[in-house]
Amino acid sequence: MNSKERFIAALDRKTLPDRLPVTTHHVQPYFLNKYMNGISSSEFFEYFGMDPILWITANSPDEKKGEYFDPTQKEPGFLEPRRICSKNWRIEPEIIQNKPHKIVRYRFITPGKTLSMVLKSNEYTSWVSENLVKEPSDIEIIAEYATIPKCDIKEVNRLAEDFGQKGLVRGFIPFFDVYGQSGCWQDAAVLYGIQNLIMKTFEDPLWVHHFLKILFIRKKVYIESMKRAKFDIIEHGGGDASTTVISPQIFEDFVAPYDAELITLAHQAGQRVVYHTCGGMMPVLETIAAMRPDAMETFTPKNMGGDTNLKEAKKRIGDKVCLIGGFDQYHYFNNCSPEKTRKSVRQCFEDAGKKGGFIICLSDHFFDAEIELIKAYADEAKSCLY
């Protein structure tokens, strides 16, 4: 089988005729620059002999509505699409600091009000230090003026066709402008702050639902525009919905109703969906599976701050979804022997892979890693035969 066939068979929960698919989550620029002389993601996969993934983000403005690509966005950030602006929704960045860490204030200029957020970045990653939504009424500005991007199908299909049978073509349910996550709850947590959002579910649950519906509409329009886009799977969810952050009850009341409907819409648009929950998953395994994604990730082990028992997860939901993840890159990509790395890979295969429906993958991102141990990870996974 080629890598694409191997991935698709696993997503369809088939027992593969050759071996376990092996890949990684997004390959970080930090790692590529520091350890691999700045090679590309595709070269990374080729070097280690893993099954490749091509991540595509491509938005399209509606020129009939006066929309255009944001001219201030000189170079989209890591996995960030080109932003869409209009006369009523303009984004102005202001660099506050360049060293030692970059700090940028983004002003969202509308006829009703100017909103602003601050994004900080270091060599590893970026994070929001000042939330966009500061007052409850700010969400009405988003509802009235924010542009609603659509998928650039032509660009997606061009890139997918160039990629061919090399591996999996993966997209996203869109994030909010500048910085966000795929799920409605996750986007709201970025825009308002996770602690603020959790407290608001008790103080004013109707406002939270109103906020989630505003974000839901933007994502719904985008998903409906994805028909005929040649993705193999699109990502949904996000870590702020994990049960190491929120309770299972908050997940059931505020996360599942919106994200489940988006999954249904994605299926109607001909797209498979992987639901991403880095952190705690075990208390909501069946709840997520009932939302009917095609796959779930990241199955983060307890030693990495998650709660996953991979064997138990496979037993409980393995007949409903493909499992992606499960590997502890923190402990087995650094400061251990290749034999220990290989043993961990083999244990993941024993726990979740023997009957198919499993793609071994890292439990989210990695930054620092030993080349020899990555090689051991890929090599041992390729020796896990069916």
Any residues with CB less than 8 A from the CB of 99 and at least 6 apart, and which? none
Cα separations in angstroms, 352 against 22, 33, 325, 349: 13, 33, 10, 5
Q: How far is CA 169 from CA 42, 227, 251, in A?
A: 12, 15, 29
Domain ranges of the chain: 3-64+138-382
Q: Which amino acid is present at 43?
A: E
Question: What per-residue confidence (pLDDT) applies to 75?
Answer: 83
Q: What is the pLDDT of residue 222?
A: 96
Choices 3.40.50.1820, 3.30.420.40, 3.20.20.210, 3.40.630.40: CATH for 3-64+138-382:
3.20.20.210
3-state secondary structure of 4: helix
Which pLDDT score is estimated for 78?
Answer: 77
Instruction: Indicate yes or no: pTM above 0.85.
Output: yes
Regions in the chain scoring below 50 on pLDDT: none
pLDDT for position 326: 97
* ∠ CA 98-100-103, rounded to 5°: 45
> CA-CA distance, 293 to 320, in Å (whole number)?
9
| pLDDT tens by residue, 33-73 | 999 999 999 999 999 999 999 999 999 999 999 999 999 99
User: In this structure, are residues 315 and 351 in contact, taking their beta carbons and an 8 Å threshold?
Assistant: no
State the residue for tokens 């990374």. Answer: 44
Please report the pLDDT score of residue 386 as a whole number. 87
